[in-house]
A and B are shown apart, each in its own frame.
Chain A
């Protein structure tokens, strides 16, 4: 087999998602070039940036063979904490630290229950998802955080500057994680534990510690994502982040991250996030009813995994 054929075979999923995304962009370029106006592109990308950060965290968790469905609630709590800290007059770096730290703390809570007590992550994070969300509703009763200081929205840099900060922040997180997952031993530990926990343990890796740290990381990333999302608006909505966990899992799955752990690649996740984030604006520009967004997202998820399932079946039959 030639070299390029091997690359295509190995990265079939990432490449096919990228190809679908490319076709969508091409169609939009022909029919609705307005999609590519600077303003629209920036709006689409800054809305996608927090999802990308959360999806990167989710990728680590899924590669480690766990799942975290509490991140939507974590996101809402972190947004609220960021808003309240800013309103208390603290400077933005402290606000950012507060959001990230509270996300990390909530992640540590999940991590302790999953890694420490050995409880199934899907049920643990289901419980914390409900608990955080209801606690927030109880304390705020649906009230927005209003009258934020001027340095909160867009970091006080104006829309252009704020969007720049959001995009650079997301790209930094993505870049660091891509390098860490590929070249740091800590990153390879995550793959090792997800692929085969017992073998990883025998190879001298501590699976419990890796799992715990992965949950702390996704918590911290969600805190950062919440901050970068909150600064796009003048007020902080306590209901924000509902369904973020499903968006993040969907992006990861579409990008080829295996739910059975040990396999997945952040470039695919990037393509997945961009594809999902473009559907809503694309529907508007193609003058189709926007209510189809969820149905199309669901169809894309099913199609992506179905193609995968079909390919493995075919390979199994040949082999």
Chain B
């Protein structure tokens, strides 16, 4: 008992350091780009950067509980396309009002997430393979619905306002939505016993089951949440770019996973924070925007992202080694109380 507690305590301390590392990276980015970038350190640019990363941010937020349980969801980019196209279909071809179409789209998203959840928890299939299958299936359905060419445009103004409007001429309309979701996910993961079970499952599924946690149900919720938030991201995407096509959100799943892993969440589950994920999203968004404003090729952002990811991983591995050594020492004399 003491050993496992000491172990988890130590893993927390290195995690804090990894997040601190990310803060340093972010600060360095800000310092460098405010020198090299034209109009980088302005209020407009800050909000523009946030506006452009809302969709990825939403996907990364809900990817966090999924990865915390030791799973993965490769299907979010494809589901985003299916929801975008579905929304267009509901609104234009079924002639529904856009709020009704939006509600149906959220239903479509939860259906997609539900399919993943069903296959993963009921048939106990590996999440990587299930979501690889739905990655192909959802994108394929989006392509089949649009015959690969159909493009939905001409959405009503009051819907487009969610992606293109500003509150007080300053704050992009999608930012408050993002903040609400971020706070909700943070509360769920870090301030409820329900959310805490995600980490317990990722740490040890068998252990979580013996502790009386309904493991399949909690895992299903994580994937369901991912589906619903993806539908929301899809509609914000459609409102921002003003069109819905079958190629929407290609590669978003990888960006979201990159942000989560960069934020210190272990790909094996059990360890990670929502704050880390938000930092990861910010680091990637600032990097992309700063390089752009510094007249650097956009490809450099991709290369640096890859490098950063490897560095973060190597750092994590090194810290784990150190903490494991310290953990052994700590267990020798561990009798003091735990803060958990």
Tell me which of A7-15, A86-94, A146-154, A288-296 binds B. Answer: A288-296
Q: A302-B119, A305-B130 known; A128 and B140 CB under 8 Å?
A: no
Question: Is A126 interfacial (CB 8 A cutoff)?
Answer: yes
B245 at the interface (CB under 8 A from A): no
| Of A138, A297, A301, A305, the contact of B297 (CB 8 Å cutoff) | A138
Contact A127/B123 with A134-B299, A291-B144, A301-B136 known, Cβ cut-off 8 Å = no
CB contact under 8 A between A302 and B314, given known A123-B309, A295-B144, A310-B123: no
Chain B residues closer than 8 Å to A293, beta-carbon distance:
140
Q: Are B303 and A67 in contact (CB under 8 A)?
A: no
Q: Mark A125-139, 1 if CB is under 8 A from B, else 0.
A: 011111101110110
- The answer to the question of B322 belonging to the interface, with a C-beta cut-off of 8 Å to chain A, is no
Question: Which residues between 140 and 196 of chain B lie within 8 Å of chain A, taking CB atoms?
Answer: 140-141, 143-144, 146-148
Q: Among A97-105, A167-175, A222-230, A246-254, which stretch is in contact with chain B?
A: A246-254
> Is A124 at the interface (CB under 8 A from chain B)?
yes
With a CB–CB cut-off of 8 A, which chain A residues contact B302? 130-131, 133-134, 137
CB-CB under 8 A from B305, the residues of chain A are 127, 130
Give the residues in chain B near A305, CB-CB below 8 Å. 119, 123, 125-126, 129-130, 133
A259→B309 contact, CB < 8 A: no
A120 touches B267 (CB 8 A): yes
Contact yes or no, B130 A135, CB < 8 A: no
| B12 contacts chain A at the CB level, 8 A cutoff | no
Interface string of A277-303 (1 = CB under 8 A from B): 000000000000101111111110110
Report the Cα distance A259→B144, complex, angstroms: 29
**A246 contacts B135, CB within 8 Å?**
yes
Contact B144 A292 (CB under 8 A): yes
Identity of the chain B residue whose Cβ is nearest the Cβ of A131 in the assembled complex? B306
**Residue A180 is within 8 A (CB to CB) of chain B in the complex:** no
Give chain A residues whose Cβ lies under 8 Å from the Cβ of B268: 120
Contacts of A160 in B (CB 8 A): none
Chain B residues, Cβ within 8 Å of A302 = 119, 130, 133-134, 137
Contacts of A43 in B (CB 8 A): none
A138 is contacted by which of B125, B130, B299, B309 (Cβ under 8 Å)? B299
Contact pick for A295, options B132, B137, B300, B306, CB 8 Å: B137
Contact B307 A131 (CB under 8 A): yes
Give the Cβ gap from B317 to chain A, nearest Cβ, in Å.
6
How far in angstroms is the closest Cβ of chain B from A31? 21
Please judge, given known A-B contacts A298-B135, A301-B133, whether A306 and B306 are in contact too, CB under 8 Å.
no
Instruction: Report the interface size class on chain A.
Output: 35 or more
Residues of A within 8 A of B261 (CB): 123, 126
B window 287-316: CB within 8 A of A: 297, 299-303, 305-307, 309-310, 313-314
- Find out whether the CB atom of B134 lies under 8 angstroms from the CB atom of A291: no
A260 contacts B by Cβ under 8 Å: yes
Cα A120 to Cα B297 in complex, Å, equals 29
Whether B140 and A250, one on each chain, are in contact in the complex, defined by CB atoms closer than 8 angstroms, is no
B89 within 8 A of A: no
Across-interface contacts of B137 in A (CB, < 8 A): 294-295, 297-299, 301-302
With beta carbons under 8 angstroms apart, the residue of A138, A259, A289, A292 that contacts B126 is A259
Query: Nearest Cβ in chain B — how far from A246, in angstroms?
Result: 6
Q: For the complex, what is the distance from the CA of A249 to the CA of B135, rounded to whole Å?
A: 13
The interface stretch among A34-42, A111-119, A185-193 is A111-119
Given known contacts A295-B144, A298-B140, A309 and B317 CB-to-CB distance under 8 angstroms: no
CB-defined contacts of A289 to chain B, threshold 8 Å: 144, 147
In the complex, what distance in Å separates the CA atom of A235 from the CA atom of B302? 26
CB pair B125 A306 closer than 8 Å: yes
Q: Tell me the nearest residue of chain A to B257, going by C-beta.
A: A126
Inter-chain CA distance A155–B299, complex, in Å, is 33
Known A-B contacts: A250-B133, A291-B140. Give 16 more (CB < 8 A). A117-B317, A119-B310, A126-B309, A134-B299, A138-B303, A250-B132, A253-B132, A291-B147, A296-B140, A298-B134, A298-B139, A298-B140, A301-B132, A305-B119, A305-B133, A310-B123
Q: Could you list 27 examples of A-B contacts with CB < 8 Å?
A: A120-B313, A123-B267, A126-B258, A126-B309, A127-B313, A130-B302, A130-B303, A131-B303, A131-B307, A133-B302, A246-B136, A250-B133, A291-B140, A292-B144, A295-B144, A297-B137, A298-B136, A298-B137, A298-B139, A301-B132, A301-B137, A302-B119, A302-B133, A302-B134, A302-B137, A305-B129, A313-B123
